[in-house]
Structure 1
Amino acid sequence: MKTATTPQVQRLKRTALYRLHRSHGAKIVEFAGWEMPVQYCGVIEEHLAVRQRAGLFDVSHMGEVELSGPHALDLCQRLTANDVARIKIGQAQYNLLLNENGGTIDDIVVYRLEADHFLICVNAANTDKDFQWILGKSQGEAEVRDTSCRYVQLALQGPLAEKILQRLTPLRLAEIKSFHFSFGAVSGSHCLVARTGYTGEDGFELYCDPDLGEGLWSNLMDAGSDLGLQPAGLGARDTLRLEKGYPLYGHELDDNTTPLEAGLEWVTKFSKGSFLGKEALLKQKQAGVKRKLVGLEMTGPGIARSQYPILKRDDLIGQVTSGTKSPTLGKSIALGYVRAQEADVGNDVEVEIRGRRVGARIVALPFYHR
């Protein structure tokens, strides 16, 4: 007689700030295997705080992979689209991990800590996949380590971010330019302070030891209390990135989507030498892409959501990948892929929303400009 077995339920991960978020009334949701705050007081209020003042995000669910050794740069160059050799110590770079077909394994940020030491920030859902991919391709060229558990990552974003952070650090923040970073004390905690972000606003991402995370969060909130700093969740982070036209992995990017289709040819440096997927991308570039990522502005009522069909005169021409009602613009906006010949700005199309066709227009990206 067989005994019934209870299926194993994978326990969701929590960041070092989980209890703090709970105590401050955050609404917690599952995201990429983590229990994360989706909002505090409300997505729209948090979104507008970032656009007008500043917001503080816990993004410690993001993963970190470190590459070190004499051939670490060679490994970075071979596995990514951008030219890592161009960045100096203290600089960061937006980049893409590619497969043999030119598909996007992940979009990443590479930090050059030393000449032969790189920190790669990867998407939360892809941490193990990316680590195993890099490790499998390393062939002993470099030491590859998943160091995600060593970091809390906080994102202080908005036009007042520098003013708030400067109250807590002796670092000269005005000298840290976009996609540059420095190491220093923030309220007594040793941090990597990077002028990077995912909101379309000025801001900083701070990496520190997990034991220091709660104190750093609280000190930042105290330092910005008189300037309207608000805690912000993943809901606002998504609407902010969407207004700026930034891709989200699993929506605008995946293993079968190339940078040429996603409007990321600027990240792809064919001149740097050999890299994984280069031949496939050169063939695609020569032949022309069959589909393109576009911005959509709804001209009729409704919000276009992921996987909604995009039509032109009864002809299915594409699919929505992300959509929302823009808090800044007061309009319904979306990203989606359409046939290349239908991707011109100004083209009027329709989005099928729950069986109803609603007018939309292809517009230039980004939707929002500072």
Structure 2
Amino acid sequence: MITKVGSDLVVVSNPLILHHERLGAQLDASKTPLSYSDPIEEYWAVKKAAGIADISNAGRLRITGKDRVSFLNGLLTSDVAQLREDGGQHSALLNPKARILADLYLYGQPDGILVDTGDSPASKVKDALDRFVITEDVQIRDATRDLVQITIQGPSSGQAIGEALGVELEGLKPLGHKILGPSTIVSRDRSGQGGYDIILPNEEAEAVWNGFLLKTGDMGVRPIGSKAMEMLRLEAGYPRYGIDIDDNTIVLEAGFRDAISFTKGCYMGQEVVARATHIGRVNKQLVRLEIEARDPPSARSKLKSNDVEAGFITSAAFSPGLGKVACLAYANRDFAKEGARLAVEQEDGPISAVVTKVL
């Protein structure tokens, strides 16, 4: 099967596609579920209980070898030396100009490091890392085709996993994880409502997916598609690679302070990050906006303040909970402040917007 990862089409093997079709899911061209019913109903299912989504279009790498930690620590923004076997880190791979080549999540495991490359294609991340392997004992394998990734989001997500899998997750810190046989359960909020990812072998995916549907339906858990996930993502203010950030984005423009170690020393792009941090500013900053409208503006719509250009929209969706549009945007330095009031340029005239969060 061919599916889309970021802007690239890659071949993957996802055993859940037939299940999505049987459930009547609306699928996009890459066979990713857009919705199973009304996306707004799916949104509220996550808000009130939990929703389960197939996010197998995310990329996955397994990195092994005795030099894996020192190798990654010299390339990535996070302090990989501090990664525990039951812990996780947000990290990034930059080019020498500190522009983001990949947005990564690392999970320490006894025999290696599992990397969620998200919308950054795993094959491209692998190729970029492989170029730096010279004499190091490091093996980088693209595991995207071997693994399925599902996410359970919502206030009842932990209880749902307990019912379906018999696993207790209380006390698991953000990005912390538990290994259950060949599967990894990660504390990963993608919705602003709390949640978990489950990364598991293809051969176990159908049983786990069906187990959730059979055992947690009475709790209000239901399958959800990418349309509902997009509403929740933007409401929470989480950027996506290839949409809100890309290889032209300087890492500090996107926030990413949870992904950067400012004390560990050298990594690719570190000099630019240090210089920008010392100066104390970048020219633009990713922000979350709320717009007084029901119809989301298109990407690249201009932001203005009293006829002065103030930035541009990167992604937007109507939020049923807010009753208005939530979006991410780049605001020029003078306007990247919580409470800043801006206008979104539209054909029918400007629409009022306010900055609610600086990332």
Q: TM-score, normalised by structure 2?
A: 0.91
Q: Distance in 1 between matches of 2:10 and 2:76?
A: 32
Matched, 1:261 2:231: no
Aligned counterparts, 1:1-370, within 5 A: 13=12, 15-30=14-29, 34-114=30-110, 117-141=112-136, 142-184=138-180, 190-287=182-279, 288-299=281-292, 302-354=295-347, 356-364=349-357
Identity of aligned residues (%): 26
> 215-224 or 11-20: which moved more?
11-20
Q: Which runs of 5+ in 1 are unaligned?
A: 1-9
8 Å contact from structure 1 (residues 97, 107) kept in 2: yes
8 Å contact from structure 1 (residues 349, 359) kept in 2: yes
Q: Distance in 2 between matches of 1:121 and 1:361?
A: 33
CA 1:197/1:301 → structure 2, altered by over 3 Å: closer, same or farther? Answer: closer
CA 1:177/1:338 → structure 2, altered by over 3 Å: closer, same or farther? Answer: closer
* Cα deviation, residue 356, structure 1: 2.5
8 Å contact from structure 1 (residues 107, 122) kept in 2: yes
* Cα deviation, residue 277, structure 1: 0.3
* Cα deviation, residue 167, structure 1: 2.0
Q: Which runs of 5+ in 2 are unaligned?
A: 1-8
Q: Distance in 2 between matches of 1:169 and 1:214?
A: 13
Q: Distance in 1 between matches of 2:176 and 2:169?
A: 10
Larger Rg: 1
* Cα deviation, residue 196, structure 1: 1.6
Q: Partner letter of residue 19 of structure 2?
A: L
8 Å contact from structure 2 (residues 290, 327) kept in 1: yes
8 Å contact from structure 1 (residues 81, 95) kept in 2: yes
CA 1:49/1:300 → structure 2, altered by over 3 Å: closer, same or farther? Answer: closer
Q: Distance in 2 between matches of 1:176 and 1:300?
A: 38
The Cα offsets for residues 67-103 of structure 1, whole Å up to 9 and x where unpaired, read as 1112100122122111122221111111112111111
Q: Distance in 2 between matches of 1:322 and 1:286?
A: 30
8 Å contact from structure 2 (residues 296, 318) kept in 1: yes
**What is the count of residue pairs matched by the alignment?**
349
Q: Distance in 2 between matches of 1:168 and 1:320?
A: 40
8 Å contact from structure 1 (residues 302, 353) kept in 2: no
SS in 2 for 1:212: helix
CA 1:123/1:261 → structure 2, altered by over 3 Å: closer, same or farther? Answer: same
Q: Distance in 2 between matches of 1:364 and 1:176?
A: 26
